Amino acid sequence: MRLPIDATLILIDLQKAIDDPSWGPRNNPEAERRVTALLAAWRAADMPIVHVRHDSIDPASPYRPDAPSHAFKPEAEPSAGETIVSKHTGSAFVDGALEAALDAIGATHLVLCGVLTNNSLESTARHAGDLGYRVFVVEDACWAVDKTDAGGHVWPAEAVHRLSLANLAGEYARVVSSARAIEATQTAAARRKAR
């Protein structure tokens, strides 16, 4: 994996709302620690970071803007100067604000992490791929929750997560580990300093 020096880290819906018990059991319990490591690597390399915040219009959602759980999780708290883009739908690209922010910095390569793998992360990754971005999804810095199908079968979070990643791999994105993404970021930063 070779990242260009402009690779943009996009963190999706990493707000306290995702910790609400109503979501049910999840996988990847170490995901937040990996998000913290990704953020540290991008900040150290002075590479672009975009935080996507979900502003739900559902009055019962823990993601609604007037809820205390609307705040970013501490592990994903934006630093001064980092871009924050709000959304009301699954894909962060629907209203054009994210694409405009990425165009403003000339971004062509996106590295995605966040929640949920099979929901906002997958829909954003698919949309990004359709728009022509080169997309990398960090498999151990995102997670899913148990999902019940129409027949009442409960699909475990890990299975939901893996299937979502399989849906993305190849056509829409390249699926990578956080360790690989961090290593590629450090290489990109070293190439930039050598110029």
pLDDT in tens, 150-183: 999 999 999 999 999 999 999 999 999 999 999 9
Indicate whether 50 pLDDT > 80. yes
Q: How far is CA 31 from CA 34, 68, 88, 93, 116, in A?
A: 5, 22, 24, 24, 11
Reply yes or no on whether the pLDDT at 194 is more than 90: no
Residue 36 pLDDT exceeds 80: yes
Supply the pLDDT for residue 1: 65
> What is the value of pTM for the model shown?
0.96
Distances (CA, A) of 50 to 24, 53, 67, 97: 27, 10, 22, 11
A 10 A CB-CB count for 74 gives: 10
For the record, the structure tokens of 145 come out as 């929750």
CA–CA separation, 33 and 75 (whole Å): 7
Average pLDDT value for residue range 134-157: 98
Q: Are 32 and 25 in contact (CB under 8 A)?
A: no
Using pLDDT thresholds of 50, 70 and 90, give the confidence band for residue 190.
confident
Quote the pLDDT of residue 5: 64
Statement: residue 3 has pLDDT above 90:
no
**What confidence category does residue 79 fall into, taking pLDDT thresholds of 50, 70 and 90?**
very high
Q: Which domains does the chain have, with CATH numbers?
A: 8-194 (3.40.50.850)
- As a whole number, the mean pLDDT across the chain is 95
Whether 4 has a pLDDT exceeding 70, the answer reads no
**Residue-wise pLDDT tens digits, 91-126:** 999 999 999 999 999 999 999 999 999 999 999 999
- Residues 4-27, mean pLDDT to the nearest whole number: 94
- Predicted pLDDT of residue 111: 98
